[in-house]
Amino acid sequence: MLQLCTGTFGQPRCFRPLWICSLATLFILLLGSGCSYHSPQLSTADIQPGTFINSSGQQLTQTELREQLQSADYILVGESHTNPCDHRVQTEILQLMAENGLNAAVGLEMVPASKQPVLDRFNSRRIDVNQMHKQLEWKRIWGHDLELYKPLFQAAQQAGYSLYGLNIPPGLLDALRQKGRSGLSQSESEALPDQIIPVPEGQKEELREHFRAHEQIMDTSRKDTDLERFFLVQAIWDTQMALEARKVSRRTGKRVVILTGSGHVEHGWGIEHRLKLLDPGANVRSLLPWREEEPPADSAADIFFFCPAQHRSRLGFTLEFNTRGAEIVQIQEGNRADRAGIKSGDVLLQAGGKDFEQIMDLHHAAIKARQDNKPLSLVVERRGQKHLLHLDLDRTPKSPS
Mean pLDDT on 339-343: 93
CA neighbor of 348 nearest in space, from 383, 384, 381 = 381
Q: Is pTM beyond 0.85 here?
A: no
pLDDT at residue number 56: 82
pLDDT at residue number 229: 87
Task: Place 263 in a pLDDT band, splitting at 50, 70 and 90.
Answer: very high
The answer to whether 335 touches 362, Cβ cutoff 8 Å, is no
Handedness of CA 190, 192, 196, 199 (dihedral sign): negative
pLDDT of 278 > 80? The answer is: yes
pLDDT of 220 > 50? The answer is: no
Strands in 74-79's sheet, in edge-to-edge order, are 52-54, 303-306, 284-290, 74-79, 255-261, 104-112, 163-167
The answer to whether 346 touches 381, Cβ cutoff 8 Å, is yes
Mean pLDDT on 237-246: 97
Mean pLDDT on 161-176: 92
Q: Specify the range with the lowest mean pLDDT, choosing from 62-71, 195-204, 210-219, 303-312.
A: 210-219
The answer to whether 325 touches 347, Cβ cutoff 8 Å, is yes
Task: Determine how β-strand 284-290 pairs with β-strand 74-79.
Answer: parallel
> What would the pLDDT profile of 70-82 be if each residue is shown by its tens digit?
999 999 999 999 9
Task: Place 270 in a pLDDT band, splitting at 50, 70 and 90.
Answer: very high
Mean pLDDT on 61-66: 93
Average pLDDT over all residues of the chain = 84
The answer to whether 215 touches 230, Cβ cutoff 8 Å, is no
pLDDT at residue number 394: 75
Task: Place 228 in a pLDDT band, splitting at 50, 70 and 90.
Answer: confident
pLDDT at residue number 378: 95
Find the angle CA(243)-CA(245)-CA(250) to the nearest 5 degrees.
95
Find the angle CA(143)-CA(149)-CA(153) to the nearest 5 degrees.
125
**Higher pLDDT residue, 314 or 38?**
314
Q: Specify the range with the lowest mean pLDDT, choosing from 118-122, 211-215, 347-351.
A: 211-215
d(CA 98, CA 79): 21
pLDDT at residue number 393: 87
The answer to whether 264 touches 78, Cβ cutoff 8 Å, is yes
In order of start, what are the domains of the chain with their CATH numbers?
43-306 (3.40.50.11550), 313-391 (2.30.42.10)
d(CA 303, CA 286): 6
